[in-house]
Amino acid sequence: MRTWFISLGVMLHLSITGFAATPKLLNPKQLTRILFIVDGSQSMMNAWDRSSRMGEAKRILGALADSLAVLPNVEMGLRVYGHQYEQSLNNCRDTKLEVSIAKKNATLLKKKLDLIKPKGITPITLTLEKCANDFPAGPGRNVVLLITDGVESCGGDPCLVATNLQQRGIILKPFVIGLGVVEDITEGLDCIGQFKNAPNALAFEQIIQTIIGNVLSQTTAEVDLLDTLKQATETNVNLTFYDSQNMLLKYVYYHQMNARGKPDTLHMDPLGKYNLTVHTIPPAELNDIAVYPNQHTPITLSTPQGSLRLSTSSKLPVKCLIKKTGGLNTIHVQNFNTTERYITGSYDLEVLTLPRIQFKQVLIKQTQINTIQIPAPGTLNIERNEEGYGGVFYMKNNNWVKLYELKYKVFTESLNLQPGNYRIIYRTKNNHKMKQTLVKDFTIKSNAAVNVVL
């Protein structure tokens, strides 16, 4: 799979005439929508290289549109600003979606490009706001490519709008290409997205090729889950990747080893950064992971794991609360007679039997199975023939602890109790003297029943 990159790299060395070469998309299902936003303000008429800035933009974008048109899962659209009203009118609402985002619209797009006569001002902020509605709903990656020779001239904050659109998951981080923008104003464009300034037409051509190449490429990564020896041997755990900009879910992969025993190669969109959750117990997380086009990225997390086996001869369901030693929160609830993997370390267990059983500082070691065994419970049957008050007690750390409160009106009760010595303290409702309290001691053995008549 990795050899693919080399060929993609070669293919992306496109000349203008060579745009027809088709970059092979790795995930053919993934739809990419590209909205070209082109500056139609008056300054675009300024001479640049062989013609004007607008002239060069028309030529280069036109060729690009032709080559993108043949790709199966790419849609294009065109929005232009500053092209409808004269500069002197100072129209800050001069922005228009000239070509809706759709398939097979290269001809229309070129025709509309040709018709643009730059004349107005530069309302970038409003343009970005409007472009939110330019993208059809449905799954896909929405890419904004802004081509401009100036900064916002209507007093808006394009950076705020761009960030907001990303956070709402509407667009990916925009690409901004400056056409001969003077150095001291580039800051106003830099914050909108990935900004590159083209001093001449040739540079513009190269920049736009690289961007489109990156947009349409996927890159690869592998997730190296390290054991205690820092070897990437941990696997068979689910991974979820999120766009770190807006926390939208991007990929769900069960981590696997390939036939060579190495972590499997994962294809990823190089646009954007990722947050990753490895669904171990407790989960491991890594944020702001950058992957780069045409470059295999190893993502490394330390997730050394061992196993905890909870075992009892009883078939009754028993739950066990698991906490990190010294921690306040339950990180997992494991059922008895199961084995689960945990990140290595020290855990405190509390088994919800009657009485509860605590195991402190249970060590989970790399690859090893730590087995915790508890005896099967016995059964206590309590019978009585009138209402009363009392409970079942046991001795813990030299104190009598109430385990179970007898139900006032239930005359037959049955409890599963761990083997041990117990005591019932009980007084019927009609005995009004404390010394009429009945105290009964009994011993519970595994898999045996004790009947107590009160």
Closest CB to other proteins among residues 208, 278: 278
In this complex, which beta carbon is closest to other proteins, that of residue 151 or of residue 425? 425
Contact in structure between 343 and 305 (CB atoms under 8 Å): yes
DSSP string covering 210-237: HHHHHHH--EEEEEEEE-TTS-S---S-
Task: Please say which residue, 44 or 310, places its beta carbon nearer to other proteins.
Answer: 310
Least Å distance, CB 132 to other proteins, is 21
Is residue 443 exposed (0-12), middle (13-18) or buried (19+ Cβ within 10 Å)?
Answer: exposed
Residues in CB range of 116: below 8 A, 6 or more apart = 38, 40, 54, 58, 80, 83, 98
Instruction: Give me the least distance between CB of 247 and other proteins, in Å please.
Output: 4
User: Which residue, 88 or 408, has its beta carbon nearer to other proteins?
Assistant: 408
AA identity, residue 41: S
DSSP structural state of residue 291: -
Integer Cα distance of 114 and 108 in angstroms: 10
Q: Of the two residues 107 and 412, which places its CB atom closer to other proteins in the complex?
A: 412
C-beta of 105: minimal distance to other proteins in Å? 31
**Nearer to other proteins among residue 88 and residue 238 (C-beta):** 238
Q: In angstroms, how far is the first alpha carbon of the chain from the final one?
A: 75
CB of 186 vs other proteins, minimal distance in Å: 34
Residue 365, token pair as written in the block: 């070691």
In the complex with other proteins, the residue whose CB is nearer, 226 or 425, is 425
- Distance (Å, rounded) from C-alpha 302 to C-alpha 224? 8
| Nearest approach, Cβ of residue 423 and other proteins (Å) | 7
Q: What is the DSSP string of 373-403?
A: EEPPPEEEEEE-SS-EEEEEEEEETTEEEEE
Among 354, 280, 286, 366, CA closest to 322: 280
Of 172 and 382, which CB lies nearer to other proteins in the complex structure?
Answer: 382
CA distance 398 to 17: 89
For residue 398, CA distances in Å to 54, 60, 104, 198 come to 89, 86, 83, 81
Residue with Cβ nearer other proteins (112 or 324)? 324
Residue 110 or 427: which CB sits closer to other proteins? 427
Output 90 or 330, the one with its CB closest to other proteins. Answer: 330
**Distance from the Cα of residue 362 to its chain's centroid:** 32
What is the closest distance, in whole angstroms, from the C-beta atom of residue 238 to other proteins in the complex?
Answer: 5
Are the CB atoms for 275 and 247 separated by under 8 Å? yes
Q: Which residue's entry shows tokens 């070129």?
A: 110
Closest CB 17 distance from other proteins, rounded Å: 35
DSSP β-bridge partners for residue 290: 273
Write down the least CB distance from residue 242 to other proteins, Å. 7
Distances, alpha carbon 44 to alpha carbons 38, 41, 312, 417, in Å? 10, 6, 79, 85
**Cβ 409 to other proteins shortest distance, Å:** 12
Beta-bridge partner residues of 285: 277
* Residue appearing with tokens 């090729």: 209
Shortest Cβ 80–other proteins spacing (Å): 36
Burial 25-35 (b: 16+ CB within 10 A, else e): bbeeeebbbbb
Minimum distance from residue 266 beta carbon to other proteins (Å): 6
